[in-house]
Every structure is written in C-alpha cells, then in structure tokens.
Amino acid sequence: MHATTQLERHLVCSDPSATSALGLALAGAAHAGDLIFLWGDLGAGKTHLAKAIGAGLGVTDTITSPTFILMAEYTGRLPLFHVDLYRLAGSVDALAGGLIDDRQATGVTLVEWPDRLEPALPARRLDVIIDGAGDDPRSITLRAGDPDLRRYLDAVR
Ligand code: ADP
Ligand code: MG
C-alpha cells in the first residue's frame, strides 16, 4: 500500500461502533513510546475511543476514566497508560511533575484533556481531535506531529 505523505487525516464516525473500529485500527499501528492526545469536549468520545484502543492492544481489564488518580496502567500487547487530566483546574507542568515521563517509553500513552499540559506539549505526538456530542456523528481529525506517526493515518485508510 502507498504510504500517505499527509500529516493529517479526517474522518467521520457516525456511531459508537465506528469510533470503536477506529480505535482498533489505531491500536494496530501503535509502537512503544507513542503518545496520543485525545481532544474534545465532555462526551465527545475520548474515553470511548481509549477503551477501543485498549481492546486493540489486548487489554482485558475494564478501562475506566482514571479521574481521581490521573493515570491508570493496563497490561496488553504493549502497556497502556491512560491519563485523564480533567480534574486539574488549570494548566499544570505535568512534564516537570513527572506525569508524562520515561516510564511510558515501554508502552502507549493516551491523554484526555491534554490542554491541561499547555504550553509544554511534546511535539512528537498523535492528536486525535473529536468533534460532536450526543448521538451526532463524530468528526475526527488525526494529526501526526512527526512523520513516523503517519503509520496511524495509514492504518485507518
Ligand atoms: P469523553 O471521554 O470525551 O468525555 P465518553 O467517551 O465518556 O466521552 O462518552 C461519549 C459518549 O458518546 C458515549 O456514551 C458514547 O456511547 C456516545 N457516542 C455516541 N456516538 C458516538 C460516536 N460516534 N463515537 C463515540 N462515542 C459516541
Ligand atoms: Mg473521558
């Protein structure tokens, strides 16, 4: 298959199962050390997508929102680190605080509410921007912050 040269890809997931299928495809492209930011309002489907990525990584434990612990770790084909920064009131230097650190080089890190990390956002990341709420279709943009991460865009062709 011809690899894309684009760093951005747009798709529409018209129901939860379509978003789940996207998550499975993304998981198939995952390598250790990858960082995936899940952007979107409350109810957009960030956790829904995180569960599907986890399933695709072979996680068998139930993935919930790690609201009170900031980060939960799961065992799969690769370790999955699920971070949810919703409870953080404002911006926090989570990099300096050790939240996003070298431990995660062994697995895949998913971050909900990554805006809480601004302005210290690592450039080498996949952004998944989810737009839509309720039962409406989700408009989803994948943006690779590094050419190596185009493999995620290719995985959902
Ligand atoms: P977030 O983590 O972004 O706050 P959740 O994943 O917890 O959101 O909730 C999203 C809700 O929207 C779920 O109840 C899910 O079933 C529903 N939903 C409806 N349509 C879709 C869709 N196309 N993709 C993802 N979730 C959807
Ligand atoms: Mg959530």
What is the per-residue pLDDT across 98-123, written as a single tens digit (0 to 9) for each?
A: 677 778 899 999 999 998 888 878 89
In the reported structure, the alpha carbon of residue 112 is separated from the centroid of ligand 2 by a whole-number distance in angstroms of: 6
Interhelix angle 46-56/16-28, rounded to 10 degrees, is 50
In the reported structure, the alpha carbon of residue 12 is separated from the centroid of ligand 1 by a whole-number distance in angstroms of: 14
CB 141 within 8 A of CB 6: no
Q: What is the pLDDT of residue 3?
A: 63
Looking from the CA of 152 toward its CB, the CA atoms found within 13 Å total 31
* Ligand 1 contact, 114 CB (< 6 A): no
Q: What pTM was estimated for this model as a whole? A: 0.93
Q: What is the pLDDT along the chain (157 residues), one digit of tens a residue?
A: 556 678 999 999 999 999 999 999 999 999 999 999 999 999 999 999 999 999 999 999 999 886 667 889 999 999 999 999 888 766 565 555 667 777 889 999 999 999 888 887 889 999 999 999 999 999 999 999 999 999 999 999 7
Which strands sit side by side in the sheet containing 71-74, from one edge to the other? 8-13, 138-144, 126-131, 35-39, 108-112, 80-84, 71-74
Q: What is the pLDDT of residue 89?
A: 65
Question: 3-class SS at 149?
Answer: helix
* Ligand 1 contact, 66 CB (< 6 A): no
Q: In the 8-state DSSP scheme, what is residue 57?
A: T
> Could you tell me which residues come within 8 angstroms of residue 142 by beta carbon, excluding any fewer than 6 positions away?
8, 9, 10, 11, 126, 127, 128, 152, 153, 156
- What number does the ligand 1 atom closest to the CA of 19 have? 24
In the reported structure, the alpha carbon of residue 44 is separated from the centroid of ligand 1 by a whole-number distance in angstroms of: 5
Alpha-carbon distances, residue 58 vs 96, 101, 110, 115, 118 (angstroms): 31, 23, 15, 28, 31
Q: Tell me whether the omega of the peptide bond preceding residue 114 falls within 30 degrees of 0, making it cis.
A: no
- Whose CA is closest to atom 18 on ligand 1? 16
In the reported structure, the alpha carbon of residue 87 is separated from the centroid of ligand 2 by a whole-number distance in angstroms of: 11
- Whose CA is closest to atom 23 on ligand 1? 15
